[in-house]
Amino acid sequence: MNDPTGRQSDQVELTVPLRTEFAATLRVLVASLGADAGFSIDEIDDFRLGLNEVFVVLAEAHADSIARVRVIFRIADHELAATIGTDPGSGDIEIDELGTNILRSVVDSFETGPEGATLIKRAAETVGAHDLR
């Protein structure tokens, strides 16, 4: 992801134990990164919900293991992407119909693959008062 100035996107990586109490850590980080990307409160909440949905799917799939979850966030101008999977490698993540519907409603796009799930959210365009003529 490149921003309009042509510079490479910023990247933040976090690895935590795949236990539900660490989902809050991811949600706090998403709030900060979303604010940096220019997201509204609702857009931040949407992305947090989407990331939490995938976290829960991973936690259920690996309930009997000591797996860790790895999230790679990429931040560019008004866009946030997160690839979430177990460390090392999740394999394909199976998201049920309800989870798929939730993701479709809260992020702009998502896909699953061997590295886990990737979610992308773009901030809505805002029009400043000075632009209204």
Domain boundaries, the chain: 10-124
**pLDDT (0 to 100) of residue 11:** 94
CB 7 within 8 A of CB 73: no
- CATH architecture for segment(s) 10-124: 2-Layer Sandwich (3.30)
**pLDDT (0 to 100) of residue 8:** 56
> What's the pTM?
0.81
Residue ranges for the chain with pLDDT beneath 70:
1-9, 88-91, 125-133
Report the candidate in 99, 131, 122 with the shortest Cα–Cα distance to residue 112.
99
In the chain, DSSP assigns E strands to: 10-17, 68-76, 79-87, 109-113, 116-122
